[in-house]
Amino acid sequence: MSEREYSERPWGNYTVLDDVAPDHKVKRIVVHPGKRLSYQRHSKRAEHWFIVSGTAQVTLDGKVTNLHVGQAIDIPREGAHRIANDGDTDMVFIEVQHGTYFGEDDIVRLEDDFGRAGDAAPS
In angstroms, the CA 22 to CA 25 distance is 8
- Domain assignment present for 64: yes
Domains identified in the chain, total number: 1
**Domain-embedded: residue 66:** yes
Kindly report the CATH number assigned to the domain that includes residue 101.
2.60.120.10
Which band of pLDDT confidence, cut at 50, 70 and 90, is reported for residue 120?
low
Which of 33, 41, 50, 40 lies closest to 84, judged by CA? 33
pLDDT of 67-110, one tens digit each? 999 999 999 999 999 999 999 999 999 999 999 999 989 999 99
CA distances from 112 to 25, 71, 94, 97 (A): 24, 25, 21, 21
Q: What is the pLDDT of residue 123?
A: 43
**pLDDT (0 to 100) of residue 59:** 98
Per-residue pLDDT reduced to its tens digit, 16-61: 999 999 999 999 999 999 999 999 999 999 999 999 999 999 999 9
The alpha carbons of the chain give a radius of gyration, in whole angstroms, of 13
Contact of 110 with 38, CB cutoff 8 Å: yes
90 located within any domain: yes
CA angle, 123 as apex, 85 and 52 as ends, to 5°? 30
Under the banding of pLDDT at 50, 70 and 90, the label for residue 118 is confident
Q: Is residue 1 part of a domain?
A: no
Q: What is the pTM of this model?
A: 0.93
